[in-house]
């Protein structure tokens, strides 16, 4: 039952090239930076990443993106990541942009064993009708577009069919975790982390505080240990290293 591994490098040592990877975080909040850095140092390539965004500034998934290690991104927005936008428009990166709520539910459904679901989000748009550019040809044209999806009416309202997401691995960051893999997230750092943890076949969690089994009140657990296969305890310096996307002072 003890799922703790000594280092982040050991925790991702078996991650090969070309796998799918769900990653928690939103902007700079709750991003598993230590595990991402360990993947970068291993030289893993051709990753199919599922994450709300693909890193910000020079942190998170932006490290792998800038190194050309990511082949495909399924996410909700490009944000202020200029390198993400450049690779996408240049045809170097395949990108599936989907509504944020749909992304959350696709991950949750994958973790719950639900193969697909109907949602009203995207009906009447290219999300449902197809034609969203997944990959550009580098000359302003579209090399690969999204296919149309099934649309069905329930009680007179149209809904589009969305498939669940399951990934080979998942990386998340928690404020607290025990040796059995039970995780607790701090406020907004909870964001996509529980959903990513549920969707991964092998989920690795970096935790800012490692505690013994029984020290976390069961009522406070956000992700049960059944979804988590490996736990890495961060050093105090790693736990305290949290960036600020837009520093504001007065």
Is the pLDDT at 250 greater than 90? The verdict is: no
pLDDT in tens, 119-177: 999 999 999 999 999 999 999 899 999 999 999 999 999 999 999 999 999 999 999 99
Q: pLDDT at position 244, please? A: 79
User: Is the CB of residue 222 less than 8 Å from the CB of residue 183?
Assistant: yes
DSSP 63-87: HHHHTT-EEEEEES--TT-HHHHHH
Average pLDDT across the chain, whole number: 96
Q: By percentage, how much of the chain surpasses pLDDT 90?
A: 89
- Give all domains of the chain, ordered by start, each with its CATH number: 4-115+164-240 (3.40.1080.10)
pLDDT in tens, 188-245: 999 999 999 999 999 999 999 999 999 999 999 999 999 999 999 999 998 988 887 7
DSSP 7-74: -HHHHTTT--TT-EEEE--BTTBT--HHHHHHHHHHT--SEEEE-SSS-BTTBTTHHHHHTT-EEEEE
pTM higher than 0.85:
yes
């Amino acid at each position: 039952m003890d799922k703790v591994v000594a280092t982040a490098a050991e925790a991702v040592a078996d991650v090969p090239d070309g796998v799918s990877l769900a990653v928690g975080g939103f902007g700079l909040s709750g991003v598993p930076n230590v595990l991402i850095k360990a993947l970068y140092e291993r030289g893993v390539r051709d990753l199919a990443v599922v994450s709300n965004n693909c890193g910000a500034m020079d942190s998170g998934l932006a490290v792998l993106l800038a190194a050309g290690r990511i082949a495909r991104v399924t996410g909700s927005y490009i944000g202020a990541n200029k390198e993400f936008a450049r690779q996408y428009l240049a045809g170097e990166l395949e990108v599936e942009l989907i509504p944020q709520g749909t992304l959350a539910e696709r991950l949750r459904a994958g973790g719950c064993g639900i193969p697909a679901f109907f949602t009203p989000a995207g009906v009447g748009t290219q999300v449902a009708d197809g034609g969203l550019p997944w990959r550009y040809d580098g000359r302003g044209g579209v090399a690969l577009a999204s296919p149309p999806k099934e649309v069905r009416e329930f009680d007179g309202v149209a809904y589009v069919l969305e498939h669940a997401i399951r990934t080979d691995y998942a990386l998340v960051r928690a404020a607290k975790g025990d040796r059995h893999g039970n995780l607790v997230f701090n406020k907004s750092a909870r964001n996509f982390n529980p959903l990513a943890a549920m969707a991964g076949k092998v989920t690795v969690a970096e935790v800012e505080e490692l505690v013994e089994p029984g020290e976390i009140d069961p009522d406070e657990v956000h992700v049960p240990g059944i979804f988590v296969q490996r736990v890495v305890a961060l050093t105090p310096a790693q736990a305290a290293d949290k960036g600020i996307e837009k520093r504001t002072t007065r």
